[in-house]
Structure 1
Amino acid sequence: MAATLDQPALFTRLPNEVIAEIFQQCHVSDHFNLALTCRRLANGGHATLERHRAAYREYGVVTDWKALTIPSILQKVISDPYVAWNIRTIEIFGTRYGWENWGDFVSEPPSTVEVSPTPWLGELASESFEGGDTYHAFRWFQAFEKPPSAEFDGYGLLADEDWSEDYAYPEWRTIREEKYRQSVIEKHLSTYISLLIEYGHICNNDFEIERATEHLSEGNDSLLKALLISLCPRLNVLRHASGKDDTRDLSKLEGLDCLSRLITRSWRSNSWAPGLKRLREVSVGVPTGLWFEDRNLSGLHKQLQYRSVMLLPGLKSVYFGTMDIRRDTHDSWDDFVSPPAEDLMGCSSVENIFIDQFVDVYDEPDQEYTVESVIEFLLIPKKLKSLTVRGGLKRQLFNKLGDQALYIFMILLSKNLENVIEYNCRLRPADSTWGWFGRTDVVRRLYKKPTIMMINAVDLLSSTYPRLTLRKDERDNPEDPRLAQLIRGRHCISLKAEVVLIQKSYRDDGLMDEEVKRLLELQVYSLVRNKWRNGGKLKAIYIQQQPNPNDGNKIAEFDFSRAIELSKKMEIDIHVKENKAVPFHQIDFPVAPTMSTIPGQEMANGGGERVFDPFTGYWTTV
């Protein structure tokens, strides 16, 4: 029988109780699909949707700042699918290796921690880290809140002044083990072991089970965190802070090592837990500005960790701070060995890489830091679109491969790269390997579709006007054959980019006489004038203007007025202090992640407008 227009829509006339029951019988992944079907279903499923909202408000971002948060939420994730479904971000500040660490992290250093100027990094540390001009000599257990004095009754330690931390901290382990072991670990131990076998790929044998049981029973929270990360089916973001963890006991399971092994085993078996399969953004070594972060650029994060992270199947963006990219040449057990580089080429879904304060020292006998190790790492992604490098030590890579190999490598890499940015690049020699990613003119021309490109003002002028590489007495010699290159070099650089960053430090400004300044001004004007020669994409030019601390923080004077006037007609933004025009375009630069759950962070950041400096890669308050 044909349907009539006045036939009642029976489905939308269902009572709320029936619709609510339909929601209850569906998987949590279907709830929003049902709600989007029609307004009637959304109204009938109000109670279910409100439960989702409440779970998201309370558990959307999870942190290990408080000692009991991770085990408490892990139990909720196991028993309540609404909680598991609505965890989107997990932030880790560090590993609790034993029961003595089962206090909350402390945001201020204890009075027993010595504070002194940074011993050897000096200006570099101050520029690289918030609070980098101070150094805290402490042991890892001091990063955690100590038990109240009242809990020491019966241990012969009745007041703070009666004991020193070095003497008393072993007692912390006893006190907290008695307080937490039964309720936090032993009560749920069989469940944890079963989940580790299913999702953590530990072998179902006595040795593996005993080892996992031992770590859990000793109060090591690494496995609990790995389980929580694995069991959240809509987990998007994982951030791990940079902590000056001085634990040297190899028998202690470190949190990132634990997660790295779990990821590697999942990759080898091609079987992924829901959370690992879902992750889109992972940040390791996130700067916090806290007193217990690592400010020594000591390269905390080794090959096993960063290679394993790159294996996550849905990963799009990674951040590595204080990354040690050196090759580890010593032998190790199979569990600790990351997959060989040749097996990883082109296997990662990562599109955006941010390398921050990397370590490029090659003075240890069991490790190498070469151009080859850099190439191996950057060829892991199948299609790398954005590469950002910030800071690092004043060292230079050992390039045993030669420039020809680097050029071939850049031909491969440049096919997909859109953004090539090197923040704080003045910290390294201009001819360093990282310079190949953007500051070398020959390589810049390889890029097919860049949107943001950083170039060095000195390199730009030197390549366009070769005579500027001469000393002044050589330039004054009319017989020098290189003088003729000035005429041949007078052309506009061809940069098919939307944004051009012209980097120069106050030291570079000091090397420029009036003639060189005029040539730089001419180059900026030519960039604007020849917008269509550069593909018609140019939207903005940023020119670095650094105050000179040796000259009363004065900024060198340049006259970009001609370029500024022309840029207004061409709808191109020129970002210099003398240009007061409202920008035509909003430009988004790659920024380092931050930990959103640091207590008191909002108050500390209050006051003043925050502005991003695209040359240093840091936010500043004006």
Structure 2
Amino acid sequence: MSLEKLSPEVLQLILRFAHPSAHFSFALTSKTLYENSLNILERHRAADQKYAITSDIKPLNTIPDLLRSAYGSGADGIEAWHVRELEIWRDRSLWEEWTECDISSEGKISFEKDSSITSPFSLGEQRKFLYNSPWGEALFLEGNEELFANAQRELRSGQDGFLKMLLIAGLPRLETLKFVKDGKERPTSFIWLSKAMKQSIKTNSWPPGLRSLRKVYAGIAVDPESEGVAIPRGGIELARLLRLPNIEGIYFCDLDMVFPEYFDPELYERDPSHPDAGTKYDKMDYDDYWEMEEILAQRKTSTVKKLILDRVASFDYDAREIILGAPNALESFLVRGIKNFRPTYDHPHTRFDQFVTIVTALSKHQNRSLRDLVVYEKEHIDGDPRYQLYWPPELNNFNHLQIVSVCLEDMIPTPTWTPNTTWSREVSLNRKDPNYPSLVQKFIEAFPTSISALAFCSTKANVSYTTNKLDYLEDGLVAMIESGKYTSLTDIYIDDVEIHSLEPRTTIAFRKAIRVGHERGVKIHTLTNTQLSNHQQPVFPVMPDKYYLETGPFGFRSPKQVFNPLSGSWVKRSCRACGACQACTRAYTRDAWTIFKAAEARSYD
């Protein structure tokens, strides 16, 4: 019997119980079916307009309806079907806090309490979430009475972490999930989500919302004051995120991953007060490490392609091998150190050290796929006793590396470099020295030919660049460009090293390199290159910030801001090498600026 011969009432009944994914195909079958589908198609249009990108800023307007839709059947699932991006702004701990977030232009998040607000969920709905939802008790709570009791308590009191986790798990086409950094602790919904991922890994059964996720942003900062607060311990959440079935990009803010060198779990269980038993933090870190070892035991199994680690306080050496060996084909790795961090007793780590082991692990596991190796806030990251960041020639182990950060100090040969390297141990950088040409040649050989953009950062601490060092860096850059080896090279960024000297310099640096680069199509961005500084379109990957949030009040970024490829942040436009401000006159004398400006003017005649 043809569907067209059915009564409109029967057709409406079919649409009511059909899965949302079938509605459009059903409507395209014939004109009759299309006409009977107009109401349901209009509901799809309205749901897409309202919920495609949604958040918890107005929780009563989104969370209850989407939860009912996510765990409903047939046409009841239309609203949840259209959610593609979810932003979590703020925890609520009581029903009276389920009011609209007030987000200031400075990033302060607050809300007023309303004692008249009560639970929007009936007792039947609460029981459904706990007992009957596909991803309730069966997946998350079975066999864990304490976890089950916590979920019950949250449902009664209005704490929203468990409910948001259920919502995330139940959204069948959720692709992007963003958590706003608000305070020093991770959101309760993220903690519940981490528990859900742990259980999913254990059972190898993933709810639709976690199965569909492509991008997760854990901790986007909107309040500048949050940059200085202590960070949560551990990094097991990062390991669990790597196991999401279809994850492509992870932004993880606040990483303090320290595992005890020695811990006796049996002694701790028998007598936690024993002086050799360790602390509760040792116990937590010990358990996290072995879980990480277990869930990421199989290398090359994660689908992640872009991994961004922001505000890294510490990154355990053994964990580096596990984490960086997990992706099947990692394409982009970004890391930023901690700026303005205030350590506490439980968080004594203020610097991310031994970065050289990161590069070694990446060259071992991701050398065939990695394209971006970027470091921001180099001042807060250490290499090892030999290098400020890492040994540059190790980059040649990567087959397709394109965008990379390099420390300028690591490009200058010193006696501290190991004898088995191909770099000369000669440290004389005088252009008249007979070994000087070979040193410049080693500069050329430091990078793979696939490089397209370089950022030369500096430690900016206790480093004074002599004229010989600046000459060597410039000669190395000129040799790189003129060698014809780097046919893909388009941009070179150089930190403002001229500023870090005892006295203003009398000669402008890098002028020859800029000229040669211009002739060969390579843009060299320096303190004095007024034509190329302050680019609006970043060449280097951008660190997520408040403007990544679609549902907030921040709108568009000010055109007065430009991206700094050395810090990873957006800053105010510079003076464009005015030659008169404090920064300019600190780097070069006024006479040097006058001569430079005159020569620059002649070049445009």
TM-score (norm 1): 0.70
Cα deviation digits, residues 106-165 of structure 1 (max 9, x gap): 4359xxxxxxxxxxxxxxxxxxxx89xxxx9xxxxxx643336xxxxxxxxxxxxxxxxx
The CA RMSD over aligned residues, in Å, is 4.6
Change in Cα spacing, 1:336 to 1:15, as seen in structure 2 (3 Å) is same
The residue that corresponds to 1:356 in the other structure is 310
Question: In 1, Cα distance between the equivalents of 2:405 and 2:291?
Answer: 34
Matched, 1:295 2:261: no
Question: In 1, Cα distance between the equivalents of 2:501 and 2:471?
Answer: 24
Q: Do the aligned partners of 2:408 and 2:458 also contact (CA within 8 Å) in 1? A: no
Aligned pair partner of 1:180 in 115, 118, 142: 118
Q: Do the aligned partners of 1:324 and 1:358 also contact (CA within 8 Å) in 2? A: yes
Question: How much has 1:454 moved relative to structure 2?
Answer: 1.5
Question: In 2, Cα distance between the equivalents of 1:414 and 1:63?
Answer: 38
Aligned pair partner of 2:159 in 216, 220, 230: 220
Question: In 2, Cα distance between the equivalents of 1:458 and 1:521?
Answer: 14
Matched, 1:592 2:584: no
Cα deviation digits, residues 335-370 of structure 1 (max 9, x gap): 98872414404232212110111112xxxxxxxx63
Question: In 2, Cα distance between the equivalents of 1:606 and 1:352?
Answer: 24
Question: How much has 1:606 moved relative to structure 2?
Answer: 6.2
The residue that corresponds to 2:554 in the other structure is 601
Q: Do the aligned partners of 1:303 and 1:338 also contact (CA within 8 Å) in 2? A: no
Matched, 1:383 2:334: no
Aligned pair partner of 2:49 in 57, 63, 73: 57
Q: How does 1:392-407 map to 2 (within 5 A)?
A: 392=338, 395=350, 407=360
Aligned pair partner of 2:128 in 174, 191, 196: 191
Q: Do the aligned partners of 1:260 and 1:305 also contact (CA within 8 Å) in 2? A: yes
Q: How does 1:202-281 map to 2 (within 5 A)?
A: 202-203=141-142, 209-245=148-184, 254-281=188-215
Aligned pair partner of 2:90 in 88, 94, 102: 94
Question: How much has 1:506 moved relative to structure 2?
Answer: 8.8
The residue that corresponds to 2:524 in the other structure is 574
Matched, 1:460 2:453: no
Change in Cα spacing, 1:19 to 1:452, as seen in structure 2 (3 Å) is farther
Question: How much has 1:97 moved relative to structure 2?
Answer: 3.0
Change in Cα spacing, 1:427 to 1:517, as seen in structure 2 (3 Å) is same
Q: Do the aligned partners of 2:396 and 2:448 also contact (CA within 8 Å) in 1? A: yes
Question: In 2, Cα distance between the equivalents of 1:43 and 1:467?
Answer: 81
Cα deviation digits, residues 550-592 of structure 1 (max 9, x gap): 999x999744444444444533333345263799x98352432
Question: In 2, Cα distance between the equivalents of 1:598 and 1:556?
Answer: 51
Q: Secondary structure at the match of 2:321?
A: helix
The residue that corresponds to 2:397 in the other structure is 446
Question: How much has 1:315 moved relative to structure 2?
Answer: 0.5
* Unaligned residue ranges in structure 2 (runs of 5+): 264-281, 342-348, 415-421, 574-605
Question: In 2, Cα distance between the equivalents of 1:78 and 1:24?
Answer: 15
| Identity across the alignment (%) | 21
Question: How much has 1:405 moved relative to structure 2?
Answer: 11
Question: In 2, Cα distance between the equivalents of 1:108 and 1:404?
Answer: 41
Aligned pair partner of 2:112 in 116, 127, 146: 146
Q: Which amino acid aligns with 2:202?
A: R
Question: How much has 1:278 moved relative to structure 2?
Answer: 0.3
Question: In 2, Cα distance between the equivalents of 1:231 and 1:295?
Answer: 33
Question: In 2, Cα distance between the equivalents of 1:185 and 1:586?
Answer: 50
Stretch moving more, 449-458 or 427-436: 427-436
Cα deviation digits, residues 185-225 of structure 1 (max 9, x gap): 63521221121436743217877644432231122211110
Q: Secondary structure at the match of 2:412?
A: helix
Aligned pair partner of 2:438 in 488, 491, 497: 488
Q: Across the two proteins, how many residue pairs are aligned to each other?
A: 520
Q: Do the aligned partners of 1:102 and 1:144 also contact (CA within 8 Å) in 2? A: no
Change in Cα spacing, 1:600 to 1:340, as seen in structure 2 (3 Å) is closer
Question: How much has 1:510 moved relative to structure 2?
Answer: 6.7
Q: Which amino acid aligns with 2:493?
A: Y
The residue that corresponds to 1:156 in the other structure is none
Change in Cα spacing, 1:36 to 1:269, as seen in structure 2 (3 Å) is same
Change in Cα spacing, 1:206 to 1:373, as seen in structure 2 (3 Å) is closer
Change in Cα spacing, 1:217 to 1:395, as seen in structure 2 (3 Å) is closer
Matched, 1:512 2:451: no
Q: Do the aligned partners of 1:545 and 1:556 also contact (CA within 8 Å) in 2? A: no
Q: Secondary structure at the match of 2:141?
A: coil
Q: Secondary structure at the match of 2:127?
A: helix
Q: Secondary structure at the match of 1:146?
A: coil
Q: Do the aligned partners of 2:251 and 2:309 also contact (CA within 8 Å) in 1? A: yes
Q: Do the aligned partners of 1:379 and 1:413 also contact (CA within 8 Å) in 2? A: yes
The residue that corresponds to 1:500 in the other structure is 453
Question: In 2, Cα distance between the equivalents of 1:199 and 1:62?
Answer: 28
TM-score (norm 2): 0.72
Question: How much has 1:465 moved relative to structure 2?
Answer: 8.1
Matched, 1:314 2:246: yes
Q: Secondary structure at the match of 1:295?
A: helix
Question: In 2, Cα distance between the equivalents of 1:573 and 1:73?
Answer: 50
